[in-house]
Structure 1
Amino acid sequence: MTTPRDTPASRRVRANGDGTVYQRKDGRWEAAGYVLAPGDTHKRVRVYGTTRKDALAKLTEKIATSNRGVPAPSAQGSVAAFLTYWLETVAVHRLRENTHTRYTACTRLYLIPGLGKKKLAKLTAKDVRTWLDQLRTTCQCCARSLDTTRDQAQCCAIGKCCSKRLSPLTLAYVHSVLKSALEHAVREEEIPRNVARNVRMGTPRPRRFEPLTTQEARAFLAATSGHRLSALFELALRTGLRKGELLGLRWEDLDLAGGTASIRRTLQRTNSSGLTTLPTKTQNSERRIALPTPCVRSLEQHRDQQHQEREAAGAGWKDSGYVFTRPDGAPIEGATLTRHFNTLLRRASLRRIRFHDLRHSAATLLLEQGVELVVIKELLGHAHIGVTATVYAHVRLRLQRDAIDLLGNALRNPDEAATRPDDGDEPPLCAAPVR
């Protein structure tokens, strides 16, 4: 009588549910079994190996994953096909239009050329990491053939690489777009896990900015005196409002008697609608802020000036309802505001900065005056206080140094202070404030 131990390994009967393993005519081994599929159904999968042990190990892994309740991936197409589907049918309804435009450009320039030909179900963390490492060291002029669009070649066409590589912030942005797309594939049970999340990119250094100092801020305010939009620039420097929030302010949002302003919308240019009104950047950005007294006075003067412009325009006045408009009442373009801002910087003989740096300047000056971080967070409309703390970490370090110096003055030995000659650089102990 033949026992199971005497039966050859290739013909041994496996238990119900363990699948089958057999050798093909080409010499490879094939294992097949049923695993969990999307929709709480089951499907038969096949795996292959050079030996019976390899094929059986692959099938056992898939069955074990199925027993944990993880459905088998159903994606059969390429990464490029899924990214196109995700952008056109999913992301377009969940992202702001300008954000969707940036996602589309990122996908077209980097994701599809690098990973588009790979199968979505077979994409691994190693594939993503290898591609990102290659993208980090690749000159974009050579990779995208930018020399072909230039009148005079500067890089690969003349055999001299200009080493125009992507910045760490751009690499992190590309990685985040891929993670968002694969996360949706996991939610739709196309793939079992998001392999992009297993790739460590490191935290890129935040973009360096040089806010205005106290003296520079005073010079800038002096330069805005007499300008048609002086109230806008003063409001930007004193409250830290974003450019779109300033341009989207309506008179109905202002309570000049109570000294408050309600931030409800932003004015931006989009590809489809042109200059249009959009919701605020985040839910926390929709807020109510207190207006400084100088801003209330300048806004009242601006309102009187706008009434005069309305009378001068007559029938040509475009009643848009915005606080800051062109002389004919139409809303102001962001690029136009930037040109006025750069003109004022030159008039004040100040270094060139971005308009958004007025927002950083307001927060930095408030921090240096000892204002609590949570108050600045509410004023700027940040979603989390960690954002405020991270962006202005350099200011907090400066305040820590000042506090440590004050503590050192308080703990100094009185006898040492009495015998030490006064060089006039430090205040006496009795005059040292303690916060």
Structure 2
Amino acid sequence: MTTPRDTPTSRRSRANGDGTVYERKDRRWEAAGYVLAPGNTRKRVRVYGTTRKEALAKLTEKIAASNRGLPVPSAQGSLAAYLTYWLENVAVHQLRENTQTRYTAVARLYLIPGLGRKKLTKLTAKDVRTWLNQLRTTCQCCARGIDARHDQPRCCAAGQCCRKLLSPLTLTYIHSVLKSALEHAVREEEIPRNVARNVRTGTPRPRRFEPLTADEARRLLTTANEHRLHALFELALHTGLRKGELLGLCWEDLDLGAGTAAIRRTLQRTSAGGLTTLPTKTRASERRIALPARCIQSLRRHHEQQQREREAAGTTWQHNGHVFTTTQGGSIDPANLTRAFTTLLRKAGLRRIRFHDLRHSTATLLLEQGVELIVIKELLGHAHIGVTATVYAHVRLRLQRDAIDTLSKALGSPETTETANGGGDEPPPCAALVR
């Protein structure tokens, strides 16, 4: 296929395949030609311009893209229509229910109100960037009418904007949902490229967390000794398992003789199925971990306790094979575990943290003990070691500082070294390994 040639205005002088250019009755110029369409077919397209040169340039661009193998977009509807199609026919089959629910909420609250009227084929990177910048500076109480629904308005409805803005993490998540939808539109050859990928939102700062110190962890375990879920809290602090992984653990997953546990499933509450046991989210999350001796003993005692509860419940016992259950054998709701954990913290006199911070505490304490980063990555079930390194960068920085201080003492003058060693009777400290 050749490129149109801007030769004489006469339609007959144009070569076959160059397309047609002519002036309409309304004084506009129209250019038409055949280009590549989805399904390896050809389609006649028409473009318009105020001058012959403008219309010809538009047709030239489309035919050049066709020669590069890019089919002409077939979608004619709005972005809102495509998002609805994508959520109801694609995402629902490819995503977990909770993830699909969050994607639907993002589309309903942000994407459709902000960009929904745009034609899918006309959406540009500039549109996405302008919308994100506007979203970044818009008070959500005003935009969504949240304050107007309060009994006593204290923001926009009262004339005093509270400037409740979206966090950088939320903006990044909204942007990622749009990228996922447009990426599927590219795969279905509805649009030639994903314009959202050309927009950079910046890397949000990681969420701060305050893991337990070794003394605080010991105090928590001491307080939990009399709790019926003592084995769960001990397992969480020693292995860094996620809340859903702990509640989804089954007895068949444990080999107490060999001291191992297979992490294969997670327990989640979904809007449709209630408490549901699902496979782990990623392949890296499915793993086998070693159990410390203390956890093995706690699990043996917990198994005996569960047998007593089963005998006491009799026919009302709900057998599901889970390691950690209610007194009637049912699955433990993650929200109930959070409440029990908060009560335990208050009883131990500790500051309030999230249950997930027990996982961070495990990794932090292991790093401070000099455990290799790759070992911690395998234990936590991270997909890439870069995730582990990024999340716990502050711990590694502290360890590096300690190592450098130790090296500084070792490389100091003999007088300084002897003073630091108490007169030279003790050998110099060994330099810590910088990881």
The TM-score with structure 1 as length reference comes to 0.95
Would the alpha carbon gap of residues 209 and 427 (structure 1) be closer, same or farther in structure 2, given more than 3 Å must change? farther
For 2:129 and 2:269, the matched residues in 1 are separated by 36
The yes-or-no answer on 1:355 pairing with 2:355 is: yes
Matched AA of 1:17: G
Residue of structure 2 in register with 1:308 after alignment: 308
Mapped partners of 1:416, 1:286: distance in 2: 52
Matched residue, 2:323: 323
Partner of 2:60: 60
Name the CA distance, whole Å, in 2 between partners of 1:416 and 1:399: 23
Supply the RMSD in Å over aligned alpha carbons: 1.7
Identity %: 75
Name the structure 2 match of 1:74.
74
Partner residue, 1:383: 383
Q: Structure 1 pair 434/16, CA: closer, same or farther in 2 (3 Å)?
A: same
**Kept after mapping to 2: 8 A contact 1:409/1:429:** no
CA displacement at 1:314 relative to structure 2: 1.8
> Does the CA contact (< 8 Å) of 1:319 and 1:330 recur in 2?
yes
Which residue identity is paired with 1:183?
Answer: E
CA distance in 1: counterparts of 2:203 and 2:425, whole angstroms: 42
Structure 1 residues 171 and 428: CA distance shift in structure 2, 3 A: farther
Corresponding residue number in structure 2 for 1:299: 299
For 1:332 and 1:325, locate their aligned partners in 2 and report how far apart those are by CA, in whole Å: 5
Over residues 358-416 of structure 1, what are the superposed CA-to-partner deviations in whole Å (9 max), with x where a residue is unaligned?
A: 00110111011110011011101111111111111111111111221122122222244
Judge conservation of contact 2:410–2:429 (CA < 8 Å) in 1. no
**One-letter amino acid matched to 2:75:** A
Partner of 1:88: 88
Which 5+ residue runs of structure 2 have no aligned equivalent?
A: 1-6
Give the aligned partner of residue 278 of structure 1: 278
Moved more, 144-153 or 30-39: 144-153
Q: Per the alignment, in what secondary structure is the counterpart of residue 431 of structure 1? A: coil
**Which structure 2 residues correspond to residues 11-410 of structure 1 after superposition, within 5 A?**
13-410=13-410
**Is the 2:317–2:328 Cα contact (8 Å) retained in structure 1?**
yes
The AA in structure 1 aligned to 2:93 is H
Deviation per residue, 1:187-212 (Å, 9 max, x gap): 00000000000111111111111111
Task: Give the distance between the partners of 2:430 and 2:147, measured in 1 at CA.
Answer: 63
CA contact (8 A) 1:409 1:432 kept: no
Distance 1:20 1:107, change over 3 A: same
Q: Is the 8 A contact 1:35 1:63 kept in 2?
A: yes
Question: C-alpha deviations, 1:103-128, integer Å up to 9, x for none?
Answer: 01011000000111111011111111
Q: Is the 8 A contact 2:421 2:427 kept in 1?
A: no
C-alpha contact 2:239 2:291 (8 A) present in aligned 1: yes
Q: 1: CA distance between counterparts of 2:9 and 2:220? A: 86
Kindly provide the amino acid, as one letter, of the partner of residue 32 in structure 1. Answer: A
Task: State which drifts further: 235-244 or 152-161.
Answer: 152-161
- Residues 238 and 362, structure 1, Cα contact 8 Å, conserved in 2: yes
Equivalenced residue count is 426
Q: For the Cα contact (< 8 Å) 2:261–2:291, is it kept in 1?
A: yes
Q: Alpha carbons of 1:317 and 1:8: their partners in 2 closer, same or farther (altered >3 Å)?
A: closer
* 1:422 CA drift (Å): 5.2
Letter in 2 for 1:67: N
**Cα distance between partner residues in 2 of 1:416 and 1:263:** 52
Picking from 414, 428, 431, the partner of 2:429 is 431
Asked if the contact 2:11/2:20 (under 8 Å) is kept, the reply is no
1:13-71 residue CA offsets vs partner (Å, 9 max, x unmatched): 22222212222222222211111100111111111122222111111111100000100
Instruction: Give me the whole-angstrom Cα distance separating, in 1, the residues matched to 2:375 and 2:407.
Output: 25
Change (3 A) 1:29 1:254: same
Retained in 2: the 8 A contact 1:265–1:279? yes
**C-alpha deviation, 1:427, in angstroms:** 11
> Does structure 1 conserve the Cα–Cα contact (< 8 Å) formed by 2:403 and 2:431?
no
In structure 2, what is the Cα distance between the partners aligned to 1:332 and 1:214? 28
**For structure 1, which runs of at least 5 residues remain unmatched after alignment?**
1-6
* Residue of structure 1 in register with 2:4 after alignment: none
> How many Å separate the matches in 1 of 2:192 and 2:420?
72
